[in-house]
Amino acid sequence: MYSSKLNLMETERAIKFLKAAFEDELSKALNLTRISAPLFVPKSSGLNDNLNGVERPVSFDVKATGEEVEVVHSLAKWKRYALAKYGFSRYSGLYTDMNAIRRDEDMDALHSIYVDQWDWEVVIGRDDRTPDYLKSTVNKIYGAIRTTAEKVRGEYPVLENRLPEEITFITAQQLEDMYPALSPKQRETQFVKKHGAAFVMGIGAPLKSGKKHDGRAPDYDDWSLNGDIILYYPLLDCAFEVSSMGIRVDRESLLSQLKAENCEDRLALPFHRALFNGELPLTMGGGIGQSRLSMFILEKMHIGEVQVSVWDEKTYAYCKENNIQLM
């Protein structure tokens, strides 16, 4: 029977310590400054993240303006505006505490309708838009995760989860070639179970099979220069995604990906016009799940042990049966 290694109060204190430690490590590794971020954005701006293109945002009208606004899914596009607004220079950037509601999320041990993550974005140059630069940044982020985990274990020695010294890189196409009979998530689990930590590159475009490894909106990541940081989680025996990130679209990849997804009408939106006209910097960025990272490092069986959300009856029954105390 599962038994949490930290009680409820210890968990709250450990989350506070973990978040402070990781923010410090991440900001030092990537030269980031914390800035304030919106909870909602105007629907007409085109700034909200469309995720896989089918999720419905929470929206409401504002009495004072009559304008319809949407609670953010993520800040992937907003951050490029912010980098320009604040005047960040090359190899410097921002991070935020991003809080979102994803109403169409399927609930399970790893997924909640409430999303909290560190959203970060860095200004880069055109010659940085390469797989090597992407990999070097992934290594820095992975280093920040490992150092944070070690600091937390120093405070709470009862925790035992260990990460390998290095993260392994593989493309989504290579995974499909290795495990053609498995689903994308099953491929990730098989691979990361052997390696402990992996970065799966090239997510969004169809693979040789004609199927996508996973969906990505066409207007923020360049699908050839992005990926997910995946860790192996022994407690649930599964691939555990802690971050989605990538080098962002430039004018050419934006046009190509919008065309591929039949979304060329988005070019009329303010964000897309600004990007098309060269008014926004070239960037790379991503999101790192705060509850996900807390769940992993604190060795919890359910994400509801490290965040407050609402759950369905199936979840409540599962948690009761498995001795899981939800917040």
Out of 74, 244, 253, 294, which one is annotated catalytic? 244
> What is the three-class DSSP state of 195?
helix
Annotation marks residue 228 as catalytic: yes
Annotation marks residue 102 as catalytic: yes
> What is the three-class DSSP state of 199?
strand
Whether the Cβ atoms of residue 117 and residue 287 lie closer than 8 Å to each other? yes
Q: Can you count the helices (H) and strands (E) in the chain?
A: 9, 11
Radius of gyration of the chain (CA): 20
Annotation marks residue 160 as catalytic: no
Query: What's the rounded Cα separation, in Å, for the pair 24 and 3?
Result: 30
Out of 119, 128, 228, 299, which one is annotated catalytic? 228
- C-alpha 113, offset from chain centre: 14
Out of 27, 117, 253, 290, which one is annotated catalytic? 117
**Burial of residue 168 (number of CB atoms within 10 Å: 0-12, 13-18, 19+):** middle
Out of 241, 261, 299, 305, which one is annotated catalytic? 241
Count Cβ atoms below 10 Å from residue 248 Cβ, excluding itself: 29
Annotation marks residue 241 as catalytic: yes
Annotation marks residue 90 as catalytic: no
Query: What's the rounded Cα separation, in Å, for the pair 212 and 188?
Result: 14
Characterize the bridge pairing of strands 114-123 and 168-171.
Answer: unpaired
Annotation marks residue 59 as catalytic: no
Out of 102, 129, 248, 292, which one is annotated catalytic? 102
Characterize the bridge pairing of strands 221-233 and 197-201.
Answer: antiparallel
Residue type, 262: N
Out of 23, 49, 116, 128, which one is annotated catalytic? 49
Residue positions annotated with a catalytic role: 49, 102, 117, 228, 241, 244
